[in-house]
Chains A and B, each alone.
Chain A
Amino acid sequence: MGLEVTDLRVYYRTLAGDVKALDGVTVAVAEGEIMGLAGESGCGKSTFGNSLIRIDGRMRHVGGRVILDGIELPIADGDAMREFRYKLVSIIPQYAMSALNPTRRIGRMIDELLESRGVRHQELRTELRRRLLLVGLPEAVLGRYPIELSGGMKQRVVMVISTLLDPSLLIADEITSALDVSTQKAVSQTLVQFRDEGFVRSMIVVTHDVSILYQVSDTLAIMYAGRLAEKAPTEELMERPLHPYTRLLISSLPEMGVRFEEERLAGIPGAPPSLLNPPTGCRFRTRCPLADAVCEEQPPFVEVAPGHAVACWKAT
């Protein structure tokens, strides 16, 4: 069944006005699909991931629908959403290193969390132990406090906790950026393994690191200034990018394994527009080498080949 997002708009309320961090995102993630989500810092990746599970007081759901496994998620209603969290949609947050309560033993925290969700923790004990071993952690971590674990260990503990109830959709936000290269490899392979073992059905992996996405993701979505620029199967997107932004992005990638956040931006002149007052029409207009009069109209995000969608007037 998978995930279907239609025209999702989520703004941040600020004193200066609404920051249009998510302004009309339409995307589908099929069952079993791992979708990579990339784009420069501040384009709205985390906002997208968070919107699917927890819209907090600073965010405002302006429009759009989210349908997961045929159920419409009440994303704007925190209380109604609670039931779906964890069981249907779950997240490994960008801040995984500090996601565990510092004054509770990890095992106890898990037990209390599970009980609070109406799950008897004894029933999941063996499964929990098995999954910890799978990510290379001894059962003894359950008796420890978070401060006694290394960053990578905490990361893996959070991965296991977040997926313990076998959610349909998992959002993994920037989970490798704080890790060293070899741990990154292990963690991203674990993600694939989790999908293959059926712990989660589909996944959205947000990262700056294209080499991770290359290893992990089946499809790649590129985001620009609160909208999707392009989405295609990973191979196809890398080899035949259609959107000028994707092209610039990929051509300026020096080599695999380099995080494209720092390295790439020198390659694309100009800066992304302010989301407080974004330009009308195509948001890439101010930096696009191909821009002309038609681009003052907003290009629709349309499928140009099977599984390949793009938002650009010149990309056909």
Chain B
Amino acid sequence: MRRYFGRKLLIYGLTFFVAATINWMIPRFMPGDPVQSLLSRHQVAPEAVPHLIAYYNALFGLDQPLWQQYLNFWGSLLNGDLGRSVYQSGRPVTEVILAALPYTLGLLIPAILLSWWAGNKFGAIAARRRYLDNAVLPIGYILSAAPYMWLAIMVAWILGSVLRIFPISGGYSYALEPSLTWAFAVDLFAHWVMPFLSLFMVMFGGWAIGMRNMIIYELDADYSRYLDALGAPSGLVRRYAFRNAVLPQVTGLALQLGVIVAGALVTEIVFSYPGLGKLLLAAVQNEDYFLLQGIFLFVIIGTLIANFLVDIAYVLLDPRTRVGMSGGSA
């Protein structure tokens, strides 16, 4: 067990190292000069330009050779310093990201957990009720095949523009100041509903279909037939089947995390929700590569942590993996 997690941690560490390096490289080899674009957005006297370029290059460390920049990058990364955001006028990237992070997490974590839970429950019920099954399958396929972008726009259009139940964009009304008041909390929630719902719906369909198929498969498995032949009530047979069918769903969750995160970023852009996705768009538009790098880094770390948690959950749930780890005799 210890060795297994040791190995896993090592793999995650390596993944992180490689991803961070690639992440550092990409913006540096992209066309465009961020300092130039920064200056071009402000009214700067022509004679001041060379000075400012030199100043910003020194500030961002862009005047050093690449290898030095790379070493600096790791050095400051380990100190939690991700550089400064060009587009937010030099605010530290960590600060900018940490301000946006709660919005993304507040959207993602409930959406993932609730859709997973509800999808599995619903799929399991559908597996034994024909009329539900006839509804679940088509709806599930449509939901899980619909592009995030399209579904989000549909939700925004129906609930926001046509029915006018929820506000279409932003994390809270501009008229309000973030504060610990009841009014603000309600407003925050109203803005949260639609992005959450569109994420929830897309994932829900996939989990429900997966669960339905797994349950049907498990109910036909030999151990189910044996229990039935010995007269066990269908409750017990179902309970076993459900538990065993959940296992592939846990693995599925691990495999889907990357896609889910990407979907969440897109959803935020559609709803102008002030999380990492919206920030990412701004960073790209402004060629702000410290910020871009920082966001990707957070996404990578988040995905790796989530994957690791799913790994642990799987090991706790499935005795077969534990047996494999201790060499077959426990």
Interface residues in chain A, defined as those with a beta carbon under 8 Å from any beta carbon in chain B:
50, 53-54, 56, 81-87, 90-91, 93, 95, 98-105, 112-113, 116-117, 144-145, 147-148, 158, 161-162
Given A93-B225, A100-B223, A148-B328, A117:B231 Cβ within 8 A = yes
**Is B236 within 8 A of A116, CB to CB?**
yes
Specify which chain B residues have a CB less than 8 angstroms from the CB of A112 in the assembled complex: 236
**B 297-330 binary contact with A (CB < 8 Å = 1; else 0):** 0000000000000000000011110010000111
Top 3 closest pairs, chain A to chain B, by CB: A85-B231, A99-B226, A98-B222
**Is B320 within 8 A of A117, CB to CB?**
no
Given A53-B229, A86-B230, A145-B323, A103:B236 Cβ within 8 A = no
**Is B240 within 8 A of A116, CB to CB?**
no
Interface residues in chain B, defined as those with a beta carbon under 8 Å from any beta carbon in chain A:
221-223, 225-233, 235-236, 240, 243-244, 247, 317-320, 323, 328-330
Classify the secondary structure of A's interface with B: loop
CB distance from B151 to the nearest CB of A (A): 35
Specify which chain A residues have a CB less than 8 angstroms from the CB of B222 in the assembled complex: 93, 95, 98-99
Which residue of the partner chain, among B221, B231, B240, contacts A86 with CB atoms under 8 Å? B231
Given A98-B223, A102-B223, A113-B230, A147:B240 Cβ within 8 A = no
Which residue of the partner chain, among B233, B317, B318, contacts A82 with CB atoms under 8 Å? B233
**Is A85 within 8 A of B320, CB to CB?**
no
Q: Give CA–CA (A105, B330) in the complex, Å.
A: 12
B223, closest chain A residue (CB): A101
Q: Give CA–CA (A90, B229) in the complex, Å.
A: 7
CB distance from B58 to the nearest CB of A (A): 61
**Is B231 within 8 A of A93, CB to CB?**
no
CB distance from A172 to the nearest CB of B (A): 13
Q: Give CA–CA (A157, B240) in the complex, Å.
A: 19
**Is A148 within 8 A of B330, CB to CB?**
yes
CB distance from A131 to the nearest CB of B (A): 16
Given A103-B319, A145-B323, A117:B232 Cβ within 8 A = yes
Write 26 A-B pairs (CB below 8 A) sorted by A numbering.
A82-B231, A82-B233, A83-B231, A86-B230, A86-B231, A91-B230, A93-B226, A93-B229, A95-B222, A98-B223, A99-B226, A100-B223, A100-B226, A101-B223, A101-B240, A102-B319, A103-B243, A103-B318, A104-B240, A116-B232, A116-B233, A117-B230, A117-B232, A145-B323, A147-B319, A161-B230
Classify the secondary structure of B's interface with A: helix
CB distance from A17 to the nearest CB of B (A): 23
CB distance from A74 to the nearest CB of B (A): 13
Q: Given A98-B221, A103-B317, list of 4 further CB < 8 A pairs? A: A53-B229, A85-B229, A103-B240, A116-B235
Specify which chain B residues have a CB less than 8 angstroms from the CB of A158 in the assembled complex: 226
**Is B320 within 8 A of A145, CB to CB?**
yes
Specify which chain A residues have a CB less than 8 angstroms from the CB of B243 in the assembled complex: 103
Q: Give CA–CA (A105, B329) in the complex, Å.
A: 14
Given A103-B243, A112-B236, A116-B236, A162:B330 Cβ within 8 A = no
Specify which chain B residues have a CB less than 8 angstroms from the CB of A50 in the assembled complex: 229
CB distance from A50 to the nearest CB of B (A): 8
Q: Give CA–CA (A105, B319) in the complex, Å.
A: 9
Specify which chain B residues have a CB less than 8 angstroms from the CB of A117 in the assembled complex: 230-232
Which residue of the partner chain, among B229, B236, B319, contacts A54 with CB atoms under 8 Å? B229
CB distance from B301 to the nearest CB of A (A): 32
**Is B229 within 8 A of A91, CB to CB?**
yes
**Is B330 within 8 A of A144, CB to CB?**
yes
Interface centre among A93, A101, A105 (most CB of B within 10 A): A101
Q: Give CA–CA (A162, B240) in the complex, Å.
A: 19
Q: Give CA–CA (A86, B243) in the complex, Å.
A: 24
Specify which chain A residues have a CB less than 8 angstroms from the CB of B233 in the assembled complex: 82, 116
Q: Give CA–CA (A90, B235) in the complex, Å.
A: 20
Specify which chain B residues have a CB less than 8 angstroms from the CB of A102 in the assembled complex: 223, 244, 319-320
**Is A113 within 8 A of B223, CB to CB?**
no
Given A93-B225, A100-B223, A145:B319 Cβ within 8 A = yes
**Is A87 within 8 A of B231, CB to CB?**
yes
A56, closest chain B residue (CB): B225
B328, closest chain A residue (CB): A148
A115, closest chain B residue (CB): B236
Specify which chain A residues have a CB less than 8 angstroms from the CB of B247 in the assembled complex: 103
Q: Give CA–CA (A103, B248) in the complex, Å.
A: 13
Specify which chain B residues have a CB less than 8 angstroms from the CB of A113 in the assembled complex: 227, 230, 232, 236
CB distance from B231 to the nearest CB of A (A): 3
Interface centre among B228, B229, B233 (most CB of A within 10 A): B229
Specify which chain B residues have a CB less than 8 angstroms from the CB of A116 in the assembled complex: 232-233, 235-236
Q: Give CA–CA (A37, B231) in the complex, Å.
A: 24
**Is B231 within 8 A of A84, CB to CB?**
yes
A94, closest chain B residue (CB): B222
Which residue of the partner chain, among B235, B244, B318, B329, contacts A101 with CB atoms under 8 Å? B244
Given A93-B222, A145-B320, A148-B330, A85:B230 Cβ within 8 A = yes
